[in-house]
Amino acid sequence: MNLYGIFDTDLNMFIHTYSNTRMTSFGSKYSASNYIHLEFLGEHTAGHSWNGTNVVYDSEYAPVVKKEYNIYSKLPAKTLHTDSLAPPFDIDYKNGLTSNLYPKRTFIKGELIGVVWYGSYDPEQTENEGFSAPIIDVAIAYTRDVLGFAVSRQTTRKWYFIDGELDQVNAKITHKYYTGIDQIKEGKIRRGNIMDYVPIAVLGLLITTELPKPGTPYADEAALILEGRRFLAEHKVSLINFVDDSNDQILAALAADTTHWLDNDIGGGTTIRAYLISEFDIGAA
């Protein structure tokens, strides 16, 4: 089937596509010189411009094929957009879809720096931790003052096409600004995030680095899990003070701890101890 379209050379994207026949005229809507006509023949593409009478070949412009966004497959029928090729800037991806999406979050030093929302999740699968069919990529960047308090946050949302490719051109960018009590609240959330994922990370690192070692005193994973719990219980007071009051005594406690596996290499010349100190060292915020 031949496909045709109106291509805006200023925007470098299609603004209209159709599949019936060539247009005999652009009409007043598409009369500006920055619009060209495109014709698609199977897998081959050719750029064409309209000279007022005929569609003529124009090699100056390379046609850019717009693809459908994966998120449109999640919309209820009554809210389907008429143009599934348009960037879905206004779609509520948390509440307006036919089924919930599955978030895969990335944290560093308690900051949520990225979320990829997927259409499917299967805990039995090992590839990509069971996540598949990406829908939305959310990148988050904080600006902080010298003490570590959040000043602002920029969130950039991009959407995946149905073929799994991320749209690198269109994005929705929003900003949030922090002052006073909001800075205090953000800091406590950040410290709480660290306590949500660090214990799990410690257990994982302990199992992967200690169990293979010759002569390890731990017989199996169950024994290592108990050891990890012992370690966390030993530092319980420092950890509570860190979350509640931003007290950094946990840094000195980790540096002085003589537990042998804290110096296990986790790759890249980094140890479990260095990883933990880096995560908890977030300034006064």
Tell me the per-residue pLDDT of 83-122, one tens digit each, with 9 for 90 and over.
667 888 888 888 888 899 999 999 999 999 999 999 999 9
Same domain, 37 and 90: no
Q: How far is CA 147 from its chain centroid?
A: 27
**pLDDT greater at residue 234 or residue 84:** 234
Reading across the β-sheet that carries 44-50, which strands appear in turn? 13-18, 3-8, 35-41, 44-50, 55-57
Q: What is the pLDDT of residue 55?
A: 46
Which residues partner with 7 through β-bridges? 14, 36
9-44 pLDDT per residue, tens:
566 565 555 544 444 444 445 444 544 455 444 444
Q: What is the pLDDT of residue 45?
A: 44
Q: 120 with 132: CB under 8 angstroms?
A: yes
- For 271, residues 6+ apart whose C-beta sits below 8 A from its C-beta are 262, 263, 264, 265
> How many domains does the structure of the chain reveal?
3
Same domain, 161 and 188: no
Asked whether residue 192 is domain-assigned, the answer is yes
Residue that terminates a domain, selected from 178, 210, 243 = 178
Question: Quick one: pLDDT band at residue 75, thresholds 50, 70, 90?
Answer: confident
Same domain, 24 and 52: yes
Distance CA 206, CA 227 (A): 9
Q: 93 with 71: CB under 8 angstroms?
A: yes
Same domain, 100 and 189: no
Neighbouring C-beta atoms of residue 99, cutoff 10 Å? 8
Q: Which residue range is the domain that position 131 belongs to?
A: 71-178
